[in-house]
Amino acid sequence: MREFIKWQVVAGLPAGEKGLRAYLLDEEREFFTAASGGEKIPLYREREIDKALFLVSGSGLDDGDYLLPLAQFKRLNLWEAVKCAALEAFQQARTLKINRLYLVMDGAGARGLHKKALEGILLGAYTFDRFKSGDEKKRETFMPEVVVVAGDAGSAGLEAELARIETVCRAVNHVRDLVNQPAGELGPEEFVDEAVRTATECGLKVDLWDENRLRREGWNGLLAVGGGSSRPPRMVSLTYEPEGAAGEVDHVVLVGKGITFDSGGLSLKPGAAMMDMKSDMAGAAAVLGAMEIIGRLGARVRVTGILALAENMPSGTAQRPGDVIVMKNGKSIEVKNTDAEGRLVLADALQLGASLKPSLMVDAATLTGACRVALGIQLAAVLGRDRELVKKLVKAGEESGEILWELPFEEAYLEDMKSDFADLANIGSTPYGGTITAALFLGEFVPEEIPWAHLDIAGPAYPGKKWKYFAPGATGFGARIFAGLVKNLA
């Protein structure tokens, strides 16, 4: 999101104002739009989507009218359809160089849709143009002002709600900036710098582990994975303390995988498979984004975010297939494939999180290609021992439009992770069920008394193409889920 995208709330549509007007109307109002030859086209409904977005040119503009029924987004739920339609309205105003877009949402029950419409615009207007030339960047700088017309919904309190949405969207777009950054620009140390800057701005406490402290304290998963790179591994924790909390409060721990580039190590990936591997730190970026939201908006619970950061590269100092790593908790891991590295750094971060004795713990990682095979690029997997926590995560995802699909945490599959030379292997003995076996591996480093769940966001974190209201590249998937989970806790 750009700093120069402006928005405001007004009670009613100003008379005589020029601008593109986007009306969100109930079908019962029998709104019609004029077509060529004076014919009238009525609003229609499809699959129970009973609202439509009409774009009507303002006074002083050409006489062309625009009809964008939400039914064209029929494979999305109403909230996501509103986001997409509002973005189309914004892009139309942008194309026509219209200074103001009026979102007129005065139908019954429209209040929640104001927030969704602005969210779609603020996330959809994002572009990552840091490396574009001046002329190319200049063509994309015009941004209309968004004017939200509250109507009967009333403007009291609405501006504060929309300001909250803006804060969330800014954090999500910050996540997208990090994930879209070339790996040559963003290694573990640079990620630490960004985390410290964010923590300073948001009032979070920070604790840092460099390679010396990692070695001294026995965080051997990170050291093994980062050993092949000239850029040493790092671990960061950021903690939010609720203001004015009396007595004991719940403590939520969020853990993110942050492989700033994944070559596969000595188990080298094919060239084409490396192209998007700058995005292998999307889990850690999502945790940082969630901590930014929580720090700025507040929460009723203590929250700690842990980022496990390393670069997985081949070299003479890299870990080798067949190596055995002894982890902090004493479990030994045979490395059968150096490209299954994310679970090794997460194991360290989860052990650190468990040492805080949290009320619940969740991790996010672009962990397995198997998850993309199973669920595609639009869904993330959720697995865990605690069904109530899984349900809370699914609910938070439904609220944000980030859909989670539960996969079975089938402990019988752990047999596939046995090693002849260590307690566990870092991959299964068969090519099947990779998302499940990866989650089971992580579960070996989380005490059973801690409610814990794992999100595999390998698909939607970086879909590789334009999707819904997201430009090609990173989506910031997971940050809103984590922030929503914390917000929903009593």
Q: 293 — alpha (psi -120 to 50), left (phi > 0) or beta? A: alpha
C-alpha to C-alpha distance for 72 and 1, rounded to whole angstroms: 26
Is position 269 annotated as part of the catalytic site? yes
Under a CB-based contact definition with an 8 Å cutoff, are residues 251 and 358 in contact? yes
Marked catalytic residue, from 234, 343, 372, 487: 343
DSSP label at residue 33: E
Is position 392 annotated as part of the catalytic site? no
Alpha carbons within 13 angstroms on the beta-carbon side of residue 122 total 23
DSSP label at residue 228: T
Q: For the chain, first and last CA: distance in Å? A: 31
Amino acid occupying residue 396:
A
Tell me the two tokens of residue 326. 């002894």
C-alpha to C-alpha distance for 190 and 11, rounded to whole angstroms: 45
- Per-residue DSSP letters for 151-212? GGG-STTHHHHHHHHHHHHHHHHHHHHHHHS-TTT--HHHHHHHHHHHHHHHT-EEEEE-HH
DSSP label at residue 252: E
Number of neighbours of residue 13 by Cβ within 10 angstroms: 16
Marked catalytic residue, from 18, 94, 269, 385: 269
Tell me the two tokens of residue 306. 């842990």
Tell me which residue has tokens 């965080």: 219
C-alpha to C-alpha distance for 259 and 377, rounded to whole angstroms: 20
C-alpha to C-alpha distance for 436 and 373, rounded to whole angstroms: 13
C-alpha 119, offset from chain centre: 14
Under a CB-based contact definition with an 8 Å cutoff, are residues 209 and 235 in contact? yes
Collect all residues with Cβ–Cβ distance below 8 Å to 409 and sequence separation of at least 6.
383, 384, 385, 436, 439, 440, 443
Collect all residues with Cβ–Cβ distance below 8 Å to 368 and sequence separation of at least 6.
434, 435, 438, 456, 458
Q: Single out the residue of 406, 388, 365, 381 nearest to residue 451, CA to CA.
A: 388
Q: Single out the residue of 161, 34, 63 nearest to residue 105, CA to CA.
A: 161
Interstrand relation of 65-69 and 51-56 (parallel, antiparallel or unpaired): antiparallel
Tell me the two tokens of residue 129. 């143009």
Residue length of the chain: 490
Give ∠ CA 310-315-318 in degrees, rounded to 5: 55
Tell me the two tokens of residue 175. 């996540």
The residues annotated as belonging to the active site are 269, 343
